[in-house]
Amino acid sequence: MVGRKVGIVGAGFVGATAAYTLAMMGTCREVVLFDIVPDVAIGKAIDIGQATAYSPKGTIVTAAKTPDEMRDCDIVVITAGVPRRREMTRADLLIINAKIITDVVGNIKKYSPEAIILCVSNPLDIMTYVVHKLTGYDRNRIIGMAGALDGARMSYQIQKKVGFGSGQTRAIVIGDHGQNMIPYPEISAVGGVPLDQIIGKTDMEDIIANTKEGGAEIVKYLKTSAYYAPGRSIAVMVEAILDDSRIVMPSSVLLDGEYGYKDITLGVPVVLGANGVEKIIELDLNDEMKAKIDVSVDSIQEGVDVLRNEGFFS
Ligand code: APR
């Protein structure tokens, strides 16, 4: 891609960390931040821009004060949203964030009509579905970032447990980006050695449980959700798309018959390249894994139905 211009909508913890990581990696020519609170985007763009004095390539980091100033991006990352407050139900949060996504997507369609969209806002799979429905774009252009982060969290747990293989751990998590996510130890490995040949059943169960709790553990300490690993995960996916590197990365994508489902988003392994999703990889799942996928899909469908009943897709 010639432009290598990335827009990030939502300059909060995750969006700004993604921008900073991209700038430090030297992945893009230009990163543009937009936030509904313009001063947040402006201040962080200045700070990150100053940090690029020591980055490998001089990435240009700017802020868009209004949505029309974020134009002609090759990729737009959506990290806009509100956190859940005590008085909100899950359905309340879903509806508020879906309204934000509606607003954001309207601007992307207007000002960056060719962009690939990387959705990060939660609840992830449902928001990614909303982006599909509101854009009507080919499904390869819309990708939800979840498996990259959950896989990183699982790698971290494996690393902690086995105590060797630093940087060599590859872990795969599929399904939804919530309570029913599916860490998949049978196809995870350290230095190419299958995990089940290194650790026993109890350790494996610990890794699965700790991976699922990965986000909540951080909230317990920080009282806010994570941003370093999410930011890095976004940057890795952006880089794969801009470089057309065709890495395999579990991501939330719209299924059209794969895994026995249609018209629902779900985290599955995909090949990431210049067209976004180059290919969806269909794993040959046993009955136990298929049952887990069904539970994941049901939980996503439940959220989609809440929005459908609110008239979001009509
Ligand atoms: N347009 C642009 N920005 C918006 C909009 C909007 N319509 N609505 C809210 N925002 C901005 C907020 O002003 C805030 O700066 O989105 C930003 C969200 O940032 P944080 O509250 O810091 O949240 P963060 O931790 O970055 O998480 C963002 O990513 O991982 C997910 O669950 C997380 O959905 C959440 C999102």
Query: What CATH number has the domain bearing residue 85?
Result: 3.40.50.720
Does the pLDDT value for residue 304 go beyond 60? yes
The CB of 276 under 6 Å from ligand 1? The reply is no
Closest listed residue to residue 175, CA positions, set 288, 273, 274, 279 = 288
Domain count, the chain: 2
78 and 16 in a common domain: yes
Asked if residue 163 is part of any domain, the answer here is yes
153 and 130 in a common domain: no
Q: Which atom of ligand 1 is nearest to the CA of 225?
A: 25
38 and 131 in a common domain: yes
Largest CA distance in the chain: 55
177 an active-site residue?
A: yes
215 and 140 in a common domain: no
Question: What is the rounded CA–CA span in Å between residue 241 and residue 279?
Answer: 13
Note whether 307 and 130 are within 8 A (CB).
Answer: yes
82 and 231 in a common domain: no
H-run or E-run covering 5: strand 5-9
The CB of 36 under 6 Å from ligand 1? The reply is yes
154 and 121 in a common domain: no
Asked if residue 16 is part of any domain, the answer here is yes
State the pLDDT at residue 2. Answer: 53
22 and 167 in a common domain: no
178 and 107 in a common domain: no
226 and 169 in a common domain: yes
Q: Of 118, 144, 170, which residue sits at a domain end?
A: 144
Q: What is the DSSP string of 292-303?
A: HHHHHHHHHHHH
For residue 10, give its domain range.
5-144
299 and 216 in a common domain: yes
**Residue range 3-47, pLDDT digits in tens:** 799 999 999 999 999 999 999 999 999 999 999 999 999 999 999
Asked if residue 264 is part of any domain, the answer here is yes
Asked if residue 313 is part of any domain, the answer here is no
Distance 156 CA to ligand 1 centre (A): 26
State the pLDDT at residue 33. Answer: 98
Note whether 104 and 98 are within 8 A (CB).
Answer: no
Asked if residue 312 is part of any domain, the answer here is no
**Residue range 193-242, pLDDT digits in tens:** 999 999 999 999 999 999 999 999 999 999 889 999 999 999 999 999 99
Does the pLDDT value for residue 266 go beyond 80? yes
**Residue range 179-196, pLDDT digits in tens:** 999 999 999 999 999 999
Query: What CATH number has the domain bearing residue 273?
Result: 3.90.110.10
**Residue range 36-94, pLDDT digits in tens:** 999 999 999 999 999 999 988 889 999 999 999 999 999 999 999 997 777 778 888 89
Statement: the pTM of the whole predicted model exceeds 0.95: yes
The pLDDT-based confidence of 1 (bands split at 50, 70, 90) is: very low
Spot the catalytic one: 153, 177, 212, 232: 177
State the pLDDT at residue 314. Answer: 83
